[in-house]
């Protein structure tokens, strides 16, 4: 890897850690009924959104390995879907950390599955608020986000709002 590739991959890994941090915050303490919350008949439930995010990271891993595979998974039970979220993040991050060659440019990995996952984590945060089980806002620029820390255990929020 060149120094430029290393820097881009490092930023991508930081972004994946950010997804894990924000995802852990939005999933932590979500009531069981949140999984099936629906704004209207045309919208996805949180469980369907989380299943899609798992599919995004399965796709990201396949792309990184030089394969083009997409699966549209039905949601698992809420606790299992939460576990899958972190498991797929860890598998993708582990591949990035391995220094194995990337079968897709870092920029494509970011602009496709990773950026889409940030959108969906934001949707989950919004749905938490709308469903009556909101989370506290946070100054994410001050969060202690650690590259490689992509599981449900994250650092304690430093600056949360009201």
Question: Are the C-beta atoms of residues 102 and 109 closer than 8 Å to each other?
Answer: yes
Question: Are the C-beta atoms of residues 157 and 138 closer than 8 Å to each other?
Answer: yes
Q: How far apart are the first and last CA of the chain?
A: 45
Greatest extent of the chain over all pairs of C-alpha atoms, in Å: 49
Note the pLDDT tens digit of each residue in 40-96.
Answer: 999 999 999 999 999 999 999 999 999 999 999 999 999 999 999 999 999 999 999
CATH of domain 3-142: 1.20.120.450
Element (H, E) at 103: none
> Residue 45 gets which letter from DSSP?
P
Note the pLDDT tens digit of each residue in 94-150.
Answer: 999 998 999 999 999 999 999 999 999 999 999 999 999 999 999 999 999 999 999
Looking at every residue in the chain, the average pLDDT score rounds to: 95
Domain range annotation of the chain:
3-142
Distance of CA 28 to the CA centre of its chain: 14
pLDDT mean over 24-38: 97
pTM of the predicted protein model: 0.94
Give the C-alpha separation, 62 to 69, whole Å: 6
Give the C-alpha separation, 158 to 133, whole Å: 21
Q: How many residues does the chain have?
A: 162
């Amino acid at each position: 890897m060149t120094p430029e590739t290393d820097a881009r991959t490092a930023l991508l890994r930081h972004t994946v850690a950010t997804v894990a941090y924000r995802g852990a915050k939005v999933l932590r303490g979500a009531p069981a009924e949140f999984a099936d919350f629906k704004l209207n008949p045309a919208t996805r439930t949180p469980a369907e959104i989380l299943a899609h995010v798992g599919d995004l990271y399965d796709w990201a891993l396949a792309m990184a390995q030089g394969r083009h595979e997409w699966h549209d998974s039905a949601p698992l039970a809420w606790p299992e879907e939460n576990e899958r979220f972190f498991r797929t993040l860890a598998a993708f991050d582990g591949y990035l950390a391995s220094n194995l060659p990337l079968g897709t440019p870092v920029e494509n990995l970011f602009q496709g599955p990773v950026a889409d996952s940030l959108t969906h984590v934001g949707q989950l945060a919004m749905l938490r608020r709308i469903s009556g089980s909101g989370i506290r806002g946070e100054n994410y620029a001050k969060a202690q986000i650690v590259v490689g820390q992509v599981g449900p255990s994250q650092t304690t929020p430093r600056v949360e709002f009201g």
